[in-house]
Amino acid sequence: MTRALFVIDVQNDFTEGGALGVDGGAAVAAGVTAYLRAHPDEYDVVFASRDWHHGDDDNGGHFATTAPPDFVDTWPRHCVAGEPGADYHPALDTTLVDVHIRKGQGKPAYSIFEGTTDAGGTTTEALDELAVTDVDVVGIATDYCVRASALDAIAAGRHVRVLTDLVAGVAPDSSAAALEELAAAGAELVTTGGS
């Protein structure tokens, strides 16, 4: 068994004070770092994804430009490549990350599986190369990119656990619904305490 951790979109624009900041985002960043430091042998590989959008176009309709954002399909400008909002939150220790994934480069992208590695490969290729069988998922936002990434990991044949004390969502109701959907799809919902 080879176990990976997916750290989803722990970026400045998705934490408090960012363009699409969620409550608890900074705590997730610090919590992931503390968890990895306390359990250095828990994972064979750590992946981290980031939204990495273009700054000079609407990214395939992802950025609202002609009407207010609907916060479903269109969003305010966020996580533009090279800008501070796209950086990992400073409380996330990126020295603990082995594989960096950039997603949304010119198009809408929610799942880590829609991104590419620094070398240009896909997430699936990286998982296969490393023979990853089990994936734990943490990060932001529970009801969007965490949900999409976990569902795609299940679809890709991996055993998936969502560490529910290391995720933060946009809204309580949609986050609860996302976790219910993930459990129904076969994900285990656990805390870092194991329950």
* Beta-strand pair 99-103/116-117: antiparallel
Element holding 100 (H helix, E strand): strand 99-103
pLDDT at 195 (0 to 100): 44
Q: What is the pLDDT of residue 120?
A: 95
Considering all CA atoms of the chain, what is the largest pairwise distance in Å, rounded to the nearest integer? 49
User: In the CATH hierarchy, which fold is given to the domain comprising 3-190?
Assistant: Rossmann fold (3.40.50)
Low-confidence ranges of the chain (pLDDT < 70): 194-195
What is the rounded distance in angstroms from the CA atom of residue 144 to the CA atom of residue 124? 20
User: Among all residues, which ones are annotated catalytic?
Assistant: 9, 103, 145
Q: Are residues 89 and 128 in contact, defined by beta-carbon separation less than 8 angstroms?
A: no
At residue 194, the pLDDT reads 56
Cβ atoms of residues 22 and 170 within 8 Å:
yes
CA distance 107 to 86: 15
pLDDT on residue 193: 78
Taking the complete model, does pTM exceed 0.85, yes or no? Answer: yes
In this structure, the dihedral spanned by the alpha carbons of residues 47, 49, 167 and 110, taken in order and rounded to 10 degrees, is: -130
What pLDDT is recorded for position 1? 85
